[in-house]
Structure 1
Amino acid sequence: MGIILEFFKDVLKEPALLMGLMAFIGLVALRKPSHKIMTGTLKPILGYLMLGAGADFIVRNLDPLGKMIQKGFNIEGVIPNNEAIVSVAQTVLGVETMSILLLGLIVNLLIARFTKFKYIFLTGHHSFFMACLLSAVLQTAGFGGWGLIAIGGAFLGLISAILPAIGQKYTLKVTDGDEVAMGHFGSLAYYISAWIGGKVGKPEDSTEKIEIPEKWSFLRDTTISTALTMMVFYLIAAFASGSEFVETLSGGTNMVLFALMSAMKFAVGVTIVYAGVRMILGDLLPAFQGIATKIIPDAIPAVDCAVFFTYAPTAVVIGFVASFIGGIIGMVLLGFAGSVLIIPGLVPHFFCGATAGIYGNSTGGKRGAAIGAFINGLLITFIPALLLPVLGNLGFSNTTFGDFDFGVVGIAIGKLYEFLGSGGVLGLLALLVAVVIVPSFMKTKNKVINNNNE
């Protein structure tokens, strides 16, 4: 029994296998021939692995850039990084985290089956991160044992269903009606970016329609434009930190050459992500129709933020740059306020900033992409600073969660406990339960909450 449980735990930690499993179930439900079941199951798995390989490549090449910026501009503080704080937390909260993850998935599936919140959260590593956050915050709030696991699992399942629904009207604009939802815990900042985009710009003024003279037409190639943009970043950081420091990162390679090669490797990582995304969408969405029609009627997959990059590649670059600028300004403002400095983490600013740019572009074009992503940069600077005290002992680990939703959930639970005790936390849980149940007893035009602009 223990071996089987460990096997399923390992599956849950691998979003690629989770996607493949969902595709397999959908294809079987559609009674597809065996060869189509095999290819339709493998392609989403391989696509996600490709996406992951590209993301790893990006992260690996962002790491030296972050170190050069810290050295060159003499910045010290806390760097938000989901993977870093989760690795610290797992030494003390491993059992609680995995138990909450498993229970949360079950609750999410039950909600999708029996309520109008039909979103199935497929980004397994983000579910894992949120399970870790919940275990840390609930333990700090005085919960323990099975009570902590039950409450944490319920919160995770509810959040996984509700957050994709909140901004689905914006997601439909991004995807031009494709039946996917946002399955990433930076989502509230993306929806804020889209809302702001609608106030400051026009969707028809899209980043993807930027007119480029013929001699600059090579910039329409996403790989080339990303490489050139990142070359500027890397060269500035390299010269600021000095050749002696850069050589400690490069293994003795010339400073300029190292900067240029790292920038180009980053661009290759982005291209690999795009290729993986296309493979995922090409087979996961048709297979998911089997789940949506046969098992969980009208089910909608909530997928990783990088899946949306192909819908507006130019907005990806604009969003990253604007978010990073917002992060720098936010850090300066925290310094003036006498707060702990939150150093802009290039990983959250790339992935979350790019996605915020895409959402801002969908409602406000170029201005929406830039301003929306800039606001995202401020949000993922201020919220981690507010989250640190709520994490208890983990708050001293010199890192914190980087994406917006983690901060919102952690701060909400922590502050409710601070002012109202455990009753406040249970009250929030009861409110979320009511949010998913009540609409099922109301007559609405659509069977899915907030889909098709309901």
Structure 2
Amino acid sequence: MTIINWIISNVLTQAAVVIGLIALLGLALQKKSVGEVLTGTFSTMLGFLVLSAGSAVVQASLTYFGDVFNFGFGLTGTSGALVASIEGINGQAMNELGLGGSIALTLLGIFIVNIILARVTKFKYVFLTGQALLWMSTLTVVGFFFTGLRGPALVIAASILGGIFATMMPAIAQPIMRKIMGSDDIALGHFCTIGYLVAAGVSKVTGDVDHSTEDVKLPESLSFLSDTYVSVWVVMFIFYLVAAIAGGDAGYQYYLESIGSSSSLHWLVACFLQSLQFVVGLYVLMSGVRLLLANIVPAFQGISMKLVPDARPALDCPVTFAYAPNAVIMGFIFTTIGSIIGMFLTMAIPGLPIVIPGVMSNFFAGGTAGVFCNAVGGRRGTIIGCIAHGIFIMLIPAILGPMLAQVGFVNLTVTDVDTALAGMLAMLPGLFG
């Protein structure tokens, strides 16, 4: 048990290590030279870590935006409101409910079930987003714990349910991923997939695929906006400016308190610098995506040939960003608009709690939804589909919140809709039993 816990803590929860080992295995199975194996493994891990570093910079910038935005528009300290924090649920489940061991073993179990299903079924997808698997293991364990399962039965049930989701979510997203990527080499490993498909469905019905978000024609005076990163900065600066004006100096001080820092910067200057920081993070993230894909796809051919024939790696959502960067920003903007609409809807529907929109999920999930929507419905579909996406990712967490409250998670929910729905499925026998 000690060895298993060590492996889980030091290997399976470290996504860069897992992906590096998979690259090493794939290259070794192809009987590459030692030098090629080491270079490919290192480059794969480096690409993932560069991607993660870019994501961390983006998240830090979005923390500023979220704090100032919520303060400026009165969304902080809302009585009875739910905060989307899977991290909070994970910590409480491990510390207060004593489920840390079950969650760790379930993480390993989900990965094993995924490999088995990929081997014996036609769904040849290996889910490689370790953090997403951790959150899935948390919600499935919490759900089955609520029904009364304990010990091995709890771990087995949660592993099977989580393994099915880890196998099926990439499979149902793959038809649109083929359109996005232009090939069948990479799948999506992110537990917001049902939300992406809802958004894409609305986009396909309402959109026009002939007019892509990436084909925006600019007058000569605005030709500087043809540079992707400049155009992203302009849009994001306007977005940040709205939040900064709404929050003002008080909102900026609230942000500084939330991160335990102090600064003499004027809040408008902070807004300007944070919007630049966002673009820096996006640039690093894109560089990591390109480096990762350049190495993981060749390495994965070895696994396809030996362990799971025709297997595809299911990777985290930023792998889609480089294929439609304009759609990413539009997805963020219109998912945010939709989530605000969804927040007011939860206020209006009797029995549902208020859910405060999550800026992180609006960017990463909203951006990916934008790429999905653009692939099937162009610009118009992206706008309408992502507004629908924002509403959807508010309603599902609002339904989950009261269910989690029965286990003891007060004012907490999650916005990863696949994870939320898996938790609901696990809890259903307890609700009706």
TM-score interval w.r.t. the shorter chain? Answer: over 0.9
Partner of 1:372: 385
Q: Deviations over 1:129-163 (max 9, x none)?
A: 00000111111111111110011111111111111
- Using the TM superposition, name which of 66-75 and 258-267 deviates more: 66-75
Aligned residues: 420
Residue 189 (structure 2) aligned to one of 168, 183, 204: 183
Query: 1:137–1:392: 8 Å Cα contact kept in structure 2?
Result: no
Partner of 1:57: 57
Query: 1:247–1:253: 8 Å Cα contact kept in structure 2?
Result: no
Residue 86 (structure 2) aligned to one of 54, 73, 82: 82
Partner Cα separation in structure 2 for residue 370 and residue 259 of structure 1:
26
Q: Quote the RMSD (CA, aligned, Å).
A: 1.7
- Going from structure 1 to structure 2, the CA distance change for 1:72 and 1:119 (only over 3 Å counts) comes to same
Give the Å deviation of 1:14.
1.2
Partner Cα separation in structure 1 for residue 408 and residue 270 of structure 2:
35
Q: Which amino acid aligns with 2:412?
A: T
Partner of 1:272: 284
Give the Å deviation of 1:55.
1.2
Partner Cα separation in structure 2 for residue 332 and residue 8 of structure 1:
41
Partner of 1:293: 305
- TM-score, length-scaled by structure 2: 0.93
Is residue 309 from structure 1 mapped to residue 315 from structure 2 by the alignment?
Answer: no
- Going from structure 1 to structure 2, the CA distance change for 1:216 and 1:128 (only over 3 Å counts) comes to same
Within 5 Å, which residues of 2 pair with 1:19-418? Answer: 19-75=19-75, 76=78, 77-91=81-95, 92=97, 93-250=99-256, 251=262, 252-338=264-350, 339-392=352-405, 396-418=409-431
Q: Deviations over 1:399-445 (max 9, x none)?
A: 321211122222233234423x4xxxxxxxxxxxxxxxxxxxxxxxx
- Using the TM superposition, name which of 74-83 and 130-139 deviates more: 74-83
Query: 2:162–2:422: 8 Å Cα contact kept in structure 1?
Result: no
Partner Cα separation in structure 2 for residue 90 and residue 59 of structure 1:
25
Q: Deviations over 1:199-228 (max 9, x none)?
A: 122323211112122222222323222222
What is the identity percentage for the equivalent residue pairs of Structure 1 and Structure 2? 37
Partner Cα separation in structure 2 for residue 199 and residue 245 of structure 1:
40
Partner of 2:259: none
SS of the residue corresponding to residue 49 of structure 2 reads: helix
SS of the residue corresponding to residue 302 of structure 1 reads: strand
- Using the TM superposition, name which of 230-239 and 321-330 deviates more: 230-239
- TM-score, length-scaled by structure 1: 0.89
Give the Å deviation of 1:286.
1.0
Query: 2:71–2:254: 8 Å Cα contact kept in structure 1?
Result: no
SS of the residue corresponding to residue 314 of structure 2 reads: strand
Query: 2:8–2:104: 8 Å Cα contact kept in structure 1?
Result: no
Query: 1:68–1:241: 8 Å Cα contact kept in structure 2?
Result: yes
Partner of 1:17: 17
Within 5 Å, which residues of 2 pair with 1:427-446? Answer: none
SS of the residue corresponding to residue 185 of structure 2 reads: coil
